[in-house]
């Protein structure tokens, strides 16, 4: 039975909030080792959290995390934390490690959740159909420095077609849709071009149908393509 790797980090929660989640210099992931889970330990007297439990964070591939954003609209509360929907959220796709002396540098390959405000900023009409605490899981991935992860995130799955769906508690992030993101590049500028919403439904004799709805950020119309499987 393998032992989970424990990594001691000297940066406090306050210090790490000053770091950009995605640094300009990205590591060559082909030279890094990977793991499926690890324990991140904050070893500093200046940490705002005083209990051992709150200074230890276990992360696994497939888990969702809250990330302190690089966003001027995110105004911290008195304890330095943010309102729930001011955080960025992502699902851990891979974990990369690089040994540095007695510890490791860690990067997470994050599959991003998009908030309603993120799609509003890009002018995507889908945002009009999203709730205040709703998150859409995208295929947009990028590397994030582990030092910028605030905590594990509990994101509740929501299936509007399930009559047995439990009621979601107030102020709880939830996930209903998966989306594919298409970007366009103009020189050094990269912008969101369109969002493809994939919905799976069962109709008639429980035959699976894939429905793809394309929302373009530059247009107000949506195209719908249906394919039987």
Query: Does pLDDT of 140 surpass 50?
Result: yes
Q: Would 70 be classed as within a structural domain?
A: yes
Q: Would 154 be classed as within a structural domain?
A: yes
CA atoms within 13 A on the CB side of 219: 9
What total number of domains does the chain contain? 1
For the chain, where are the E strands, in sequence order? 5-9, 33-35, 37-42, 56-60, 64-67, 88-100, 103-115, 134-145, 149-152, 156-157, 174-186, 189-203, 207-216, 222-228
How does residue 15 score in pLDDT terms, banded at 50, 70 and 90?
A: low
Q: Would 58 be classed as within a structural domain?
A: yes
Residue in this structure with the two tokens 């001027």, named with its chain if needed:
72
Model pLDDT, residue 67: 92
Q: Give the whole-angstrom CA distance, residue 25 versus residue 35.
A: 22
Q: Would 220 be classed as within a structural domain?
A: no
Q: Would 100 be classed as within a structural domain?
A: yes
Model pLDDT, residue 2: 52
Model pLDDT, residue 22: 63
Query: Does pLDDT of 41 surpass 60?
Result: yes
Q: Would 206 be classed as within a structural domain?
A: no
Q: Which of 103, 108, 188 is nearest to 153 (CA)?
A: 108
Cα dist. 88→27, 70, 116, 186, 197 in Å?
22, 9, 12, 25, 20
Model pLDDT, residue 86: 94
pLDDT tens digit sequence for 151-188: 999 999 998 888 888 899 999 999 999 999 999 888 88
How does residue 226 score in pLDDT terms, banded at 50, 70 and 90?
A: very low
Q: Would 68 be classed as within a structural domain?
A: yes
* Continuous H helices in 1-40: 13-16
How many residues would you count in the chain? Answer: 229
Query: Count of CB atoms within 10 A of residue 50's CB?
Result: 8
Q: Would 191 be classed as within a structural domain?
A: no
* Continuous H helices in 22-142: 116-121
Range of the domain at 94: 5-175
CATH number reported for the structural domain that contains residue 117 in this entry: 2.30.30.490
pLDDT tens digit sequence for 44-89: 554 444 444 447 889 999 999 999 888 888 888 888 788 999 999 9
């Amino acid at each position: 039975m393998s032992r989970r790797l424990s990594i001691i980090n000297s940066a406090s929660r306050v210090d790490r909030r000053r770091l950009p989640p995605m640094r300009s210099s990205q590591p060559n992931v082909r030279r890094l080792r990977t793991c499926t889970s690890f324990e991140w330990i904050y070893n500093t007297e200046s940490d705002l959290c005083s209990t051992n439990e709150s200074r230890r964070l276990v992360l696994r591939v497939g888990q969702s995390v809250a990330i302190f954003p690089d966003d001027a609209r995110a105004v911290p509360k008195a304890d330095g934390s943010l309102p729930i929907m001011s955080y960025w959220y992502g699902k851990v796709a891979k974990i990369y490690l690089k040994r540095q002396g007695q510890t490791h540098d860690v990067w997470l390959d994050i599959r991003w959740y998009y908030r309603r405000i993120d799609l509003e900023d890009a002018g995507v009409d889908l945002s009009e159909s999203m709730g205040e605490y709703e998150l859409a899981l995208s295929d947009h991935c990028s590397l994030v420095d582990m030092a910028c992860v605030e905590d594990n995130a509990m994101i509740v799955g929501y299936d509007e077609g399930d009559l047995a769906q439990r009621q979601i508690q107030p102020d709880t992030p939830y996930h209903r849709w998966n989306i594919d993101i298409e970007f366009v590049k103009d020189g050094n500028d990269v912008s969101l071009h369109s969002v493809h919403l994939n919905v799976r439904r069962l109709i008639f004799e429980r035959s699976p149908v894939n429905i793809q709805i394309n929302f373009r950020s530059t247009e107000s119309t949506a195209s719908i393509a249906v394919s039987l499987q």
